[in-house]
Amino acid sequence: MAVSLQPWISVLHRVGCLILVVAGTLILTGCASSDPRFAPRYGEHRIGEITVVVLDEGAVNFACQMRSPRPRVRYEGCYIPREQTIISNNDVGVLLHELKHALESDWKH
């Protein structure tokens, strides 16, 4: 009685491919997240008297709208003088823009 191995070989091939894809994904994401240059720097930081809060984009808009409501504006960052706080997304250009507001109180767009 001969047993066909063809169905088992097909299953093993699919499982092997799946394992390779998962392992490759873990290796690539593990390498990216272990290097701090590539990781998002979310959180709260201090620059002298100024607090800088870095959030994801949706949270930035919500936090800025709560402090300075403008229904037709989509905030990428904001500076709240009374709190001496900058709220920014993870973008250097936005952060520099808000720092300019914080450091030069008379600066306007």
Q: Does 28 share its domain with 48?
A: no
Tell me, what's the pLDDT at 34?
45
What digits encode the pLDDT tens for the residues 8-36? 666 555 655 556 555 555 554 544 444 44
For 45, 62, 64, the CA distances from 55, given in Å and listed in that order, are 12, 10, 11
- Does residue 89 sit within a domain? yes
Q: Are residues 73 and 30 in the same domain?
A: no
pTM of the complete model: 0.61
- Of the chain, the percentage scoring pLDDT greater than 90 comes to 48
Task: Say if 60 falls within a structural domain.
Answer: yes
Burial class (CB within 10 angstroms; exposed 0-12, middle 13-18, buried 19+) of 57? middle
Owning domain of residue 24? 1-39
In a domain, residue 109? The reply is no
What Cα–Cα distance (Å) separates residue 71 from each residue in 7, 18, 23, 76?
61, 47, 45, 14
Q: Is 108 among the domain residues? A: no
- The answer to whether residues 50 and 90 belong to one domain is yes
Count of domains forming the chain: 2
Is the model more confident about 59 or about 19?
59
DSSP label at 48?
T
